[in-house]
Amino acid sequence: MKCSYIAKEIYTTEKAYVESLCFVIENYRNQMAEKGIISKKDLETLFFGLEDILVCNQIFLLKIRKRTEKWNLNSQLGDLFTELVSPPPSFPTLFSFSSTIQNQLLLGGDGAEQGFEQLHQVCEQL
């Protein structure tokens, strides 16, 4: 029975994550785009792959939900996590996203910190 509680908690956590991604897209990215607060290039850099990540996690959430709805003593979720992090073509954007962020932080130096401060100021205006 403990496993069913853990599975439900994983589902609840993933659902909250998906809802948060939707919130960021709707209330930050879309608002910045509509108001022209930052350049299109900066907008694409800042929110690189976010919609793809959202779709991946929506699919993952759906699979978890289906499993938890029919949970029994032989049920498991491990294979879903393995599928989520398997190399492309499963979720190529996640790997690309990670590389892009690493490169920006490594190459950005003080500029990266300044960019985050500018982003914070922009978000406060929304």
Radius of gyration of the chain (CA): 18
Kindly state the average pLDDT of the residues 33-37: 91
Q: What is the pLDDT of residues 74-99, one digit of tens each?
A: 999 999 998 887 765 445 555 555 55
Q: Is the dihedral of CA 86, 81, 104, 96 positive or negative?
A: positive
pLDDT at position 102:
54
Cα(124)–Cα(35) distance, integer angstroms:
14
Q: What is the pLDDT of residue 90?
A: 47
Higher-scoring residue by pLDDT: 30, 104: 30
Q: How would residue 49 be classed by pLDDT, with cut points 50, 70 and 90?
A: confident
pLDDT confidence of residue 109: 52
Long-range contacts (CB closer than 8 Å, 24 or more residues apart) made by 38-47: 38/122, 45/100, 45/104, 46/119
Every domain of the chain and the residues it spans: 2-125
Stretch 99-126: mean pLDDT:
57
CATH of 2-125, one of 1.10.287.130, 2.60.120.280, 1.10.10.10, 1.20.900.10: 1.20.900.10
Distance of CA 64 to CAs 8, 11, 47, 105, 109, Å? 9, 6, 26, 33, 39
Residue 66 has pLDDT above 90, yes or no: yes
pLDDT value at residue 21: 96
Q: What is the mean pLDDT of the chain?
A: 80
Instruction: Flag whether the pTM goes above 0.75.
Output: no
